[in-house]
Amino acid sequence: MNESGSPLVAVVEVSLPNPKLEPVIPRSSGDVRVSRFQLVGPEPDPEEVNRRVNDVRRAIEEITGKPPENFLASSGSFVIEANGKQLLRVADLPNVAAIWPNKSQ
């Protein structure tokens, strides 16, 4: 990828507040071993989640000149098309956790 070359498709993961996932210790000492987990901590504030998602959406549009192609709510990620220079700017945004290349290209 060169700095101003042709656009690439990438997945931009938004840094969102999430409760912690912790293992649950089985109550019995039987032979059945099933991994179980529980969410610990407060539920994320929906207003904070929406604020971060909207901030990143606006910034991506400002940087690339067009809105993100899609938002994947289950992973808190945007699908964008951007060149190398634009991806560097997106990576510097405060609420961007990671950028992943599109493997299907």
pLDDT in tens, 9-54: 999 999 998 778 888 877 666 656 667 888 887 778 899 999 999 9
For each of the domains in the chain, give its residue range(s) and CATH number, in order of start. Answer: 8-101 (3.30.70)
List beta partners, residue 38: 22
Asked if residues 76 and 4 have their Cβ atoms less than 8 Å apart, the reply is no
Where does the pLDDT of residue 7 fall: very low under 50, low under 70, confident under 90, or very high at 90 and above?
Answer: confident
Asked if residues 9 and 105 have their Cβ atoms less than 8 Å apart, the reply is yes
Region 66-87: what's the mean pLDDT? 95
Is pLDDT of 97 > 80?
A: yes
Report how far residue 33's alpha carbon sits from residue 6's, in angstroms, rounded to the nearest whole number. 51
Most confident of 6-10, 31-35, 83-87: 83-87
In this prediction, residue 2 carries a pLDDT of: 44
Kindly write down the DSSP assignment for every residue of 7-22, as one continuous string: -EEEEEEE-----EEE
Average pLDDT, the chain: 87
Report how far residue 78's alpha carbon sits from residue 18's, in angstroms, rounded to the nearest whole number. 18
In this prediction, residue 1 carries a pLDDT of: 44
In this prediction, residue 28 carries a pLDDT of: 64
Q: What is the pTM of this model?
A: 0.75
